[in-house]
Amino acid sequence: MLFNSSEFFIFLPIVFFLYWFVLKNSFRQQNIMLLGASYFFYGWFDWRFLGLLILSTVIDYSFGFWVANGTERKKKLFLWLSIFNNLIILGFFKYYNFFVTEAAIFLGNLGFHAHPYVLNIVLPLGISFYTFHGMSYVLDIYRGNFKPIANFVDYAVFVCFFPLLVAGPIERASHLLPQITTSRKFSYAQGVQGLRLMLWGFFKKVVVADSLAPIVDDIYKNYHTYSGSTVALGAIYFSFQIYCDFSGYTDIALGTAKLFGFELLTNFKFPYFSRNIAEFWRRWHISLSSWFRDYLYIPLGGGRTTRAKAVRNTFIIFLVSGFWHGANWTFIVWGGIHALLFIPLLLGNKNRQFTGPIVAYDRSLPTLKELAQMLLTFTLATLAWVFFRCPDMATSFAILKQMTVNFFHVPALKSFMLFYVAPLVLIDWYFRRDERALAFPRNRALRYITYAVMFVVIIYHSNNNASFIYFQF
């Protein structure tokens, strides 16, 4: 079920009504209802994968007890079995065809004729997210950061809560489970904040991202017929498309969770206002980058080791992050590019230069230096997005090459879409101090007029129910 579908706007009020008006006196019953609603929400996409989701949930729930109660040797054994189980599930559905095809190509280069057996299977929605939920749960138990949950329903809600099930944010047991295992009371302020986040998320997704999508698709498909400036504009538009698509989804997810009394982890903090690539990754898909930091980068030694090992660890985390997004060399190269951009900052001890508030937090405008830093970071991220967007390496390099052809030709036909991008940047800049507390006008009449205008514009653009980009990961 898509957030931007008519079915969701029937589903959500029904679940909300049952949750707060019928089952308000028992959070246990609320949890059972949330689990059933989450399974229904997921099964609406494809009911065949419900069994895989439930099986994965049961296995990690069981491993949590085995890791907690065994001897040190058994704890480590069950931990690795849990990791192996999740990686097998993820690898089979997401990476099997990639590995067998690449192995056949490698053997062919050695003179052997291999005929790989490729599976015609559909990638289960959300598999990259719910397997990471399970692994982090068992890892936190092994580290002693969390005790296993006795109630299976509570744990299953942690894994399957419908706002975050398909595309995150990737939650931590220590953050979400305490909210699930305690009673909740409806908060009017929290509900209003949730509806505002949802409204802004729908605006970003339906109005901006889905309006940019056909333009981006056309430019990337027919890049050889366009001037370099038009192709570059297409790359810029994709940067905003993927940002509005994914952060729009996150806003809707966070807002929906607020309606049920839950606070999910932050996933975006205005990444295109970053002053270098390190800050960009502290502000883009935060739940994933922090997951790799805590469960892969730091266990490898992080940056607090020799320079050579720090560089190695950086490459590992970025390459794995790229590969997490999809079984294609373009994603691996995309991760490698970000590693190459990050390493000079690491070697120069500037990777933690901007760990505080957003740029110009206490000022209306950035300095010229900060503006230049933001533009450079955005440009580098946009060029890397080319590999993320293209189907193969050859197309990626061809598009980058095409950007140099007749570059100064003004792409008048496509530049009208700046009408959507420019206001987005200005509004984001206005909201930048807190991505959750959207500062709508204080005047009640003006505030409701703003709501109404945004709602009308969303309805006007909601004619295709386009899927979210990160659903494919």
Given a contact cutoff of 8 angstroms between Cβ atoms, the answer to whether 174 and 148 are in contact is: no
Phi, psi of 380 (to 5 degrees): -65, -40
Given a contact cutoff of 8 angstroms between Cβ atoms, the answer to whether 58 and 184 are in contact is: no
pLDDT of 3 above 90? no
Given a contact cutoff of 8 angstroms between Cβ atoms, the answer to whether 386 and 231 are in contact is: no
The CA dihedral of 432, 437, 443, 444, to the nearest 10 degrees, is: 140
d(CA 231, CA 403): 6
In 234-283, the DSSP E strands lie at none
Tokens matching residue 170: 């990737």
pLDDT of 118 above 80? no
Q: How many CA atoms lie within 13 A of 283 on its CB side?
A: 28
Q: What is the pLDDT of residue 436?
A: 67
The mean pLDDT of the chain is 90
The whole-model pTM stands at 0.92
Tokens matching residue 118: 């490729």
Phi, psi of 76 (to 5 degrees): -65, -40
Given a contact cutoff of 8 angstroms between Cβ atoms, the answer to whether 345 and 277 are in contact is: yes
What proportion of the chain, given as a percentage, has pLDDT over 90?
Answer: 67
Cα 116 off chain centre by: 32
Does the CA dihedral 100-105-106-108 come out positive or negative? positive
Q: What is the pLDDT of residue 93?
A: 87
Q: Which of 325, 338, 409, 461 is catalytic?
A: 325
Per-residue confidence band for 416, with pLDDT thresholds at 50, 70 and 90: low
Given a contact cutoff of 8 angstroms between Cβ atoms, the answer to whether 345 and 351 are in contact is: yes
Per-residue confidence band for 5, with pLDDT thresholds at 50, 70 and 90: confident
Q: What is the pLDDT of residue 414?
A: 64
Helix (H), strand (E) at residue 101: helix 72-109
pLDDT tens by residue, 119-148: 677 778 889 999 999 999 999 999 988 899
User: Does 325 qualify as catalytic in the annotation?
Assistant: yes
Per-residue confidence band for 464, with pLDDT thresholds at 50, 70 and 90: low
The CA dihedral of 75, 80, 82, 87, to the nearest 10 degrees, is: 170
d(CA 322, CA 337): 10
pLDDT tens by residue, 64-117: 999 998 788 899 999 999 999 999 998 888 888 777 787 777 667 777 777 777
Helix (H), strand (E) at residue 366: none
d(CA 286, CA 61): 25
Per-residue confidence band for 430, with pLDDT thresholds at 50, 70 and 90: confident
pLDDT tens by residue, 339-385: 999 999 999 999 999 999 999 999 999 999 999 999 999 999 999 99
Closest by CA to 38, choosing from 255, 253, 189, is: 253
Per-residue confidence band for 450, with pLDDT thresholds at 50, 70 and 90: confident
For residue 210, the one-letter residue type is D
Tokens matching residue 295: 């469960």
d(CA 255, CA 163): 9
Which residue's entry shows tokens 């830093």?
A: 373
**Among 272-276, 398-402, 437-441, where is mean pLDDT lowest?**
437-441
pLDDT of 1 above 80? no
pLDDT tens by residue, 14-53: 999 999 999 988 999 999 999 999 999 999 888 888 999 9
d(CA 89, CA 87): 5
